[in-house]
Amino acid sequence: MRPALGSRLSALGAGLVKAQAYGLGFDLVGIAALGPADTAAAFDAWVERGYAGEMHYLPRGAEKRRDTRLPVPGAMSAVVVGMSYGGAEPPGPVARYARGDDYHDVMVAKLRDLHDWLAERLGREVRGKAYVDTGPILERDLARRAGLGWFGKNTMLVNPRLGSFFFIGALLVDIELEADPPFEADRCGTCTRCLDACPTDAFVAPRELDATRCISYLTIELKGAIPEELRTPVGDRLYGCDVCQDVCPWNLRFARGLPDGSPFAPREALHHKDARTLALDILAMDDERFRAAFKGSPMKRAKLRGLKRNAAVVLGNVGTEDDAGVLARALDDPEPLVREHATWALGRIESRRGQERSGRGSR
């Protein structure tokens, strides 16, 4: 009975697997056969050109990354999923993906539930592993292969029914499931809105990002000082950036709001706070308040020193004279990184005040 059931699921049950994945809360589901990764060579070349910056973890596991059969011995198929994180929500100082609970935890838990369901359905152990941006897997490559979308000019995967505001995950399993046709079309056409809108000119060419200039990299992955020439373009963005997605016509038309009870809804520490208010809050935080406010949040990745650095830059760009006291207190922060950026911010505020005085005096 078990071999027959397993065979039936493998040959005919891709639809059943997808239905189960949709039932677990995923918004997109596709099946891909495992094998050599289509974009591995391009990824290697991108890293070689230095566009990954300080993200030294990216080249690790290169051999496994180049062939998706290698991370899980015996794996034949990937169930590739997408989960919306609310692209129709208003913009703000924190990128939409990071306002709620950590997507890694949310999606891995659901993929493990799917893994358990497969094993129960087949009546045997299923060798497999869930990946959500945490291993040597080019998830975007697998997602295109599974028919979930095309690579937009901003390098994001774009789905024709959902836009690009969604997370990608994959469950690699030792089951041969019927694969979906890959997404072959390029539906960006002649549009270059994403490229033109980037505040830091981070796109070297269509579909080629210099991460070292990207605001998401600068405010999250970069551990040291933000280059001075890029601080002003950061504007009021405290953690991450959605600009290249905000202007995409596919998102303007198809991005969704968050359903009630979504784990990605903004947490209390962020709710209804503009960039200036949030920056002031963060600069006043100690480690205990930071841990309480951002427990289980993607924003913990930047650590408190990184968030305070970012907060100082935001106040340097949008702060007022009233914020000078908070920044002056930050000059005594134990972290040199915070002190440096607070000094820069105070200089910016003083410069704006001088310009305002000159403007009034010339009238």
User: Would you state the structure tokens that stand for residue 110, as one six-digit string?
Assistant: 């659901």
Q: Which residue has the tokens 């440096």?
A: 340
Cα–Cα distance for residue pair 15/171, rounded to 1 Å: 15
- Produce one character per residue of 220-239: b if its CB has 16 or more CB atoms within 10 Å, e if not: bbbeeebeeebbebbbbbbb
Beta bridge partners of 215: none
Cα–Cα distance for residue pair 32/82, rounded to 1 Å: 14
User: Would you state the structure tokens that stand for residue 206, as one six-digit string?
Assistant: 């269509």
Whole-angstrom CA distances from 190 to 153, 186, 187, 193, 201 are: 10, 10, 9, 9, 19
User: Would you state the structure tokens that stand for residue 291, as one six-digit string?
Assistant: 């841990």
What are φ and ψ of residue 93, in 5° steps? -70, -15
Active-site residues, by number, are 133
Q: Which amino acid is at 114?
A: L
Helices (H), the chain: 2-12, 14-23, 40-48, 62-66, 103-122, 139-145, 193-197, 215-216, 228-234, 243-246, 249-254, 275-283, 287-293, 303-318, 324-330, 336-361
Query: Contact, 168 vs 134, CB < 8 A?
Result: no
User: Would you state the structure tokens that stand for residue 53, as one six-digit string?
Assistant: 């910056």
Query: Contact, 156 vs 244, CB < 8 A?
Result: yes
